[in-house]
Chain A
Amino acid sequence: MKMAQPAAIFEGAARVLAALLEARTGQALSEGRAWRMETALRPVLRQHKLADMDELAGRLTRKADPRLEEEVVNALLNNESSFFRDLQIFDMIHRQILPAIQAERSNRTLRIWSAGCSTGQEAYSLAIRLRNDAARWSGWRIEIMATDISTAAIDQARAGIFSQMDVQRGLAVGDLIKWFEPHGEDWRASAELRRMIDFRHDNLFDAKAPSGEYDLILCRNVLLYFSPERRQAVLRLLGRHSHARSVLLLGAGETVIGQGDDFTAHPEFRGAYVRQAALPEGTIGRTRLAG
């Protein structure tokens, strides 16, 4: 995983802003991101009639301004996402993981958590696959909760409005026609799709939204921005909201290896993880799941 940079390596205004981001979100500003800091903050500077980053840092240091802080944090977060990001993962969810969950759940309830959902593409991708497969899930209660610390991202996710650029990255044309409506120059997810997802503004380090256990948790491309200790803290939280057979999926370049002992590689699903405590010692492969 890429190394995140502690705020202390930056100087002047950049250090103040990186520290704010770290304090509020646990995210260390990546070096690549630091380069683009000024560009990312330009709209905030303009909005508040501030000349440059120094003036912004000065304002933030002088007096607490939660609104301004929130805008700065939103601007500094990397919200990159796309529909069906890493298509193979969604194929595995669809062909293997969900059928396995379905086979072993007796209460006909499927609970999914998209942690660090950004503008919602991940959650919408799941909802689309589930709706396309409606017959299989008839009679099931499906709960999809999606959380993110960025208020701006959550607002956009909830509205379900995506640009042409967003929808053509990863969304199949059939799904676009079926599940989206033209919205000016943009596209809007259908009300049916939007109703399926509970978008919540929530911090992974002060989590209030999750409740109980989720059958499937996606926390993709989120951990890489955190320090090793913080990654462990997040995994501990995800572990607390997992049962013995819950499946955890991380981003393509992310792993739980070396991040505490809450999760371990899933015995069946490649690249997926399962709660460590769920595995009785000495059992391997499928028997672990059955155990």
Chain B
Amino acid sequence: MKNCLVVDDSKVIRKVARHILESLDLSVTEAVDGQDALTQCEASAPDVVLLDWNMPVMSGMEFLQALTTAKMTARPKIIFCTTENGISHIKAAVEAGADEYVMKPFDRETLESKLVIVGVI
């Protein structure tokens, strides 16, 4: 079973995402900020990370930067997740290494299509 790490400081969003991801047959782990996510990735690399952009402690962007130098066996796919759809914002995230992008609130179909695009399901 493939694993998705859900990184979001909102408990509600993590719960919604977990519900959808589990229904798509993925195992789910959670992190509350970028730092927490980084520690978890180094311990055991997930197949995909659903990454919130605006978080305290370490933002999504900072997490992506840190990930490039992290000691990991394989780089996970990154789907970043925001409440903004400004094109410059999206471009910045893609340039920083995000593979896909999804705007909140998202539904099952949307998340599923993104997971298909990045090749996780």
Contact = CB atoms under 8 A, between A and B. Distances in A.
Contacts, number: 41
Given A168-B110, A172-B100, A177 B117 contact: no
A212 to B, nearest CB: 35
B103 A168 contact: yes
B43 interface: no
B55 interface: no
B101 interface: yes
Contact of A82 (B90, B99, B113): B113
Contacts of A176: 90, 101
A282 B30 CA distance: 59
Interface string B61-78: 000000000000000000
Given A87-B117, A168-B110, A182-B87, A174 B94 contact: yes
B85 interface: yes
B91 to A, nearest CB: 6
A169 B91 contact: no
B80 to A, nearest CB: 9
Contacts of B90: 173, 176-177
Interface string A64-102: 000000000000000000101001000000000000000
Contact of B94 (A168, A170, A173, A182): A173
A80 B40 CA distance: 40
B94 A172 contact: no
A286 to B, nearest CB: 30
A185 B86 CA distance: 9
Contacts of A84: 113
B64 to A, nearest CB: 14
Contacts of B100: 172-173
Nearest to A165: B110
A61 interface: no
Contacts of A190: none
A164 interface: yes
A168 B87 contact: no
Contacts of B87: 177, 181-182
A182 B86 contact: yes
A181 B86 CA distance: 10
A84 B110 CA distance: 12
Contacts of A170: 113, 117
A185 B85 CA distance: 8
Contacts of A169: 109-110, 113
B12 interface: no
A274 to B, nearest CB: 28
B91 A177 contact: yes
Nearest to B100: A173
B109 to A, nearest CB: 6
Nearest to A168: B110
A265 to B, nearest CB: 25
A172 B109 CA distance: 14
The 8 closest A-B pairs by CB, nearest first: A173-B101, A170-B113, A172-B117, A168-B110, A182-B87, A173-B100, A164-B85, A87-B116
16 contacts: A82-B109, A87-B113, A87-B116, A87-B117, A164-B103, A165-B110, A168-B102, A168-B103, A168-B113, A173-B90, A173-B100, A173-B101, A176-B101, A182-B85, A182-B86, A182-B87
Interface of A: 82, 84, 87, 164-165, 168-170, 172-174, 176-177, 181-182, 185
